[in-house]
């Protein structure tokens, strides 16, 4: 309750500050002083930008939209190309987070044999991180000339993006019986030399009733890895509960269709032309490099405006 109250106080304070800016701008306009025109035009432009940002945020009204997020990326069909694609997506989301001023922490990562990554789990902390990122949940498809093909042929690669809200450890919505968790510890894998852990600090949690397995090996402390793994487990269990509820409602409405691997939400085409297209909203852009550099606001806004 204290956390919720603090968040509401912050929102109210922010809106009151914005209200004062509008009031001050109107008073300056009423003076009809030509010498203030340049400053007023700059302030009006700033206010319009802020209003657009606030109207975007107002669409984030879900129960967890204001929370931090857990982002997981898994390489799919496509071999080395898909693992490289997964690493490209990781870079894209890290750049997006950096541009928004969010903090990020890689909790667990499995590297590919030749290049890229097989999977990664990232904690993204910042206001409305989950609300924005929930638009990214699903299969992402890449079409390009493969740098791993000697004949330089065109390849199609897939990667799955999962987005979960970070659930507080004391959240009443998810209850985990300690007797239902199997804990294994092992040495972290990774590069050789000094980077190899001499002690068993990596943690693997298995939730016996659901069969969910979570690993965490980023921290040097076994305790910290266990806490992070438990955070991911709680978030996954919450997502299962939410999904079951959504399926139940959809079935009652007669709208349920099974979501299967391969039904991509977005395609990134780098050859023979340049285009990123979201198949849910039909939003598309030809500036693929900007998107891969983290400029996702247009795609996210189209998803939110569609009421998805």
Residues 21-52 pLDDT 10s: 999 999 999 998 888 989 999 999 999 988 88
pTM for the model: 0.78
Task: Say whether both 278 and 131 belong to one domain.
Answer: yes
How many domains, the chain? Answer: 3
Cα 301 off chain centre by: 14
pLDDT value at position 74? 93
Question: What's the pLDDT tens digit per position in 78-123?
Answer: 789 999 999 999 999 999 999 999 999 999 998 988 889 999 999 9
Torsion of CA 204, 209, 210, 214, to 10 degrees: -10
Task: Say whether both 133 and 194 belong to one domain.
Answer: no
Task: Say whether both 290 and 158 belong to one domain.
Answer: yes
Q: What is the Cα–Cα distance from 19 to 98, expressed in whole angstroms?
A: 28
Task: Say whether both 123 and 189 belong to one domain.
Answer: no
Task: Say whether both 158 and 270 belong to one domain.
Answer: yes
What three-state secondary structure class fits 99? helix
Structural domain of 53:
2-58
Check whether 257 has a pLDDT greater than 70: no
217 vs 19 pLDDT, higher one: 19
Task: Say whether both 158 and 278 belong to one domain.
Answer: yes
pLDDT value at position 253? 57
What three-state secondary structure class fits 145? strand
Q: What is the Cα–Cα distance from 254 to 107, expressed in whole angstroms?
A: 39
For the chain, give the longest Cα–Cα distance: 74
Task: Say whether both 86 and 137 belong to one domain.
Answer: yes
The pair of structure tokens assigned to 193 is 């030399």
Check whether 194 has a pLDDT greater than 50: no
């Amino acid at each position: 309750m204290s956390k919720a109250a603090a968040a509401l106080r912050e929102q109210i304070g922010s809106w009151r500050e914005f209200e004062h800016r509008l009031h001050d701008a109107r008073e300056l306009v009423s003076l009809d002083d030509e010498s203030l025109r340049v400053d007023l035009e700059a302030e009006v432009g700033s206010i319009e930008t802020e209003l657009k940002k606030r109207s975007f945020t107002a669409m984030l009204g879900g129960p967890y939209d204001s929370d931090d997020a857990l982002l997981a990326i898994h390489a799919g069909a496509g071999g080395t190309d898909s693992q490289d694609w997964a690493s490209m997506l990781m870079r894209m989301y890290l750049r997006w987070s950096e541009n928004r001023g969010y903090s990020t922490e890689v909790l667990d990562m499995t590297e590919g044999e030749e290049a890229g990554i097989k999977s990664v789990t990232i904690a993204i902390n910042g206001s409305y991180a989950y609300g924005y990122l929930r638009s990214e949940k699903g299969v992402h498809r890449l079409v390009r000339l493969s740098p791993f093909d000697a004949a330089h042929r065109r390849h199609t690669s897939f990667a799955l993006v999962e987005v979960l809200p970070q659930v507080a450890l004391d959240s009443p919505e998810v209850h985990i019986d300690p007797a239902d968790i199997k804990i294994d510890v092992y040495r972290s894998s990774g590069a050789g030399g000094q980077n190899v852990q001499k002690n068993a600090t990596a943690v693997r949690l298995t939730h016996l009733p659901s069969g969910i397995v979570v690993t965490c090996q980023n921290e040097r402390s076994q305790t910290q890895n266990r806490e992070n793994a438990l955070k991911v487990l709680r978030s996954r269990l919450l997502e299962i509960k939410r999904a079951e509820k959504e399926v139940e409602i959809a079935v009652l409405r007669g709208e349920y269709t099974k979501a299967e691997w391969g039904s991509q939400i977005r395609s990134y085409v780098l050859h023979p032309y340049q285009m990123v297209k979201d198949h849910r909203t039909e939003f598309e852009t030809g500036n693929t490099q900007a998107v891969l550099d983290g400029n996702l606001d247009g795609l996210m806004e189209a998803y939110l405006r569609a009421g998805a």
